[in-house]
Each structure stands twice: as structure tokens, then as C-alpha cells.
Structure 1
Amino acid sequence: MTKDEKGSSDEALVQTRQRRLRAAHLQAIKDSPPSPEQTARFEREGWSHERHLSHIRERARSAAMIHAAE
């Protein structure tokens, strides 16, 4: 791996982490923060931004259905 490739890879990881932290902040605002276990899993398994968003959306849909049923 060249120095430029490593720099690009590091930059992509930083951007991914910033997006994940922003998403966690938005979830906290909506009273649906990720659990520490979820955050650890996202980071450990290297979830893509798209997969993370999909997971958040599915949680929001599930919460909405439960809330609507009440």
C-alpha cells in the first residue's frame, strides 16, 4: 500500500466515523440512540455507511409500528 493509498483509506475511515457519530446524534435526538453494543458492532465489523443507515431505518420503522399499535 502506498502512502497516498493509506492516506485515502484513513480519510475514508474518518469520514465513515463522522457519519456514524452524526447518525448516533440524530438517533439520540429522536430518543432512539444506538446501544453501546450496536456502536461496538458497527465499528468492529466495519459496517458500510449504507448498511448502517439501513439498520437505523429498520429500527425506526419497527418503533413506528409499535407506537402506532399503541
Structure 2
Amino acid sequence: MKTAEIISELANLPIEERALIADSLLQTLNPTQPDIQQAWVKVAQQRLNDISSGKVEPILASDVFARINARLSA
């Protein structure tokens, strides 16, 4: 089967299956490094804990971008 035929077949799959295939293919191009991945998991868990406990308050992305735009246009 040629590449164009594979792509055509894949384009007809449901979006969830296409996303899974795309993610799998991307990982073959840029494989994860377990130690780095574990470090990011630890950071994400700490941030979730900080938000859940009320230690930090999340900021809406729209607010962050508004602040950035205000600084850049000043």
C-alpha cells in the first residue's frame, strides 16, 4: 500500500482514532525520555495539588493574554 492510500484510508477514520494514530506517529519521531517525562508529571501533580488546596489561584488564559497585549501595546 502506498503512502497516499494509507493517508486516504486514515482520513476516513473517526477523529478519536485519527488523533490516537497521529499521537503514536509523533512519538516515533520524538520519543519521550522517561526521566524528563517523570519530572513533568511531578510538576503537574504539584501544580494540581497547589490549585486544589487553594495555595494558588488559577488565572484565565484570556486574562493572561489581555495583560500581555496591554504590556506590548504600551
- TM-score, scaled relative to structure 1: 0.37
Q: Judging by fraction of residues, say which structure has more helix.
A: 1
Answer with 1 or 2: which has the greater Rg.
2
Higher RCO structure (Cα 8 Å, ≥6 apart): 1
